[in-house]
Amino acid sequence: MPDAIRAFAGDCTVETDDRTYRGRVLVLVKPDRTVLVHDAGGYQPVAWLTRADSVTVERDGPGVGLTARLDDRRLRVTADRIRKSVYRASAAGVPVGTHPESGGALIRADGAVVDADTDTRYPLVAGATVLDSACSDCGLPLVSVDRGATFEVCIDRACQPLDGVVRERFDRAWTCPDCGDDLRIIRRKGRLLAGCDGYPDCETAFTVPAGVFVDDCPCGLPVFETATGRRCLDGTCDRWDG
């Protein structure tokens, strides 16, 4: 269980580099190896080590010894008797529906929609808005994305790739300002581009911005309405006066 929170509870001795504690505490070990020691008071742990380099647990019958190390710092917890539990963990996010196959809650967190039951991730493109409506093919939620126009596509890129609908709409719609060839909708080095059909002889290419086509620039390229205002497809163009 790689993404799991381990919990230890009992009468423990807690040693840090400069202090020793004793009490009935709760020790949490998070998936990123952060160790937190909580007592009965307040919300802040009495001892902690953030993203330790290593966390080792030694069991001796009902007893336990836990040692976390980060550089030259050490946090050690020992107890003669202790209770241990392991819980699956995930990012906490905004619920956006239910997976049509697993029945697990779908949560938007960390730039993706995640199935809380199976940990399946559906990465979201920048600026995507998850909709209440579902894909007619697979039942997963749709997202609204602005890439030249507003498109509604499935969160599962294998079901309905954003590149395909943008290409269908805008492939060859614009002309390369350097050589006059058509601009093709391509993906190169992880970016969705309007790139010259003359590549590699002409390497002109522009990132398709998160916005919708609203006007023509004096340079001949399209102008997009984005979250920060209007801009030419060529982000360095000095002919668009806004």
> What average pLDDT does range 21-49 have in this prediction?
95
Question: Which residue carries 């007619």 as its tokens?
Answer: 136
pLDDT at residue 61, rounded to an integer: 78
Burial code of 190-216, b = ≥16 C-beta within 10 A, e = fewer?
eebbbbbbbeeeeebbbebbbbbbeee
Q: What SS3 class is residue 170?
A: helix
**136-170 pLDDT tens trace:** 999 999 999 999 999 999 999 999 999 999 999 99
pLDDT at residue 189, rounded to an integer: 83
pLDDT at residue 3, rounded to an integer: 81
Q: What percent of the chain has pLDDT over 70?
A: 99
What are the residues whose beta carbons fall under 8 Å from the beta carbon of 64, sequence distance 6 or more? 8, 57, 58, 77, 78, 79, 82, 84
Query: pTM value?
Result: 0.74
Q: What percent of the chain has pLDDT over 90?
A: 77
Q: Mean pLDDT, the chain, as a whole number? A: 92
User: Looking at the predicted structure, is the pLDDT value of residue 2 above 70?
Assistant: no
pLDDT at residue 242, rounded to an integer: 66
**190-241 pLDDT tens trace:** 889 999 998 889 999 999 999 999 999 999 999 999 999 999 999 889 877 7
Closest alpha carbon to 175 in 210, 232, 214, 219? 219
> What average pLDDT does range 23-44 have in this prediction?
95
- Measured CA to CA, the distance from residue 174 to residue 138 in angstroms comes to 33
User: Looking at the predicted structure, is the pLDDT value of residue 23 above 70?
Assistant: yes
pLDDT at residue 51, rounded to an integer: 97
Whether a cis peptide bond, with omega within 30° of 0, leads into 200 is yes
- Measured CA to CA, the distance from residue 85 to residue 213 in angstroms comes to 54
Q: Give the rounded distance of the alpha carbon of 208 from its chain centre.
A: 21
User: 221-224 long-range contacts, Cβ below 8 Å, gap at least 24?
Assistant: 221/174, 221/177, 222/148, 222/173, 222/174, 224/148
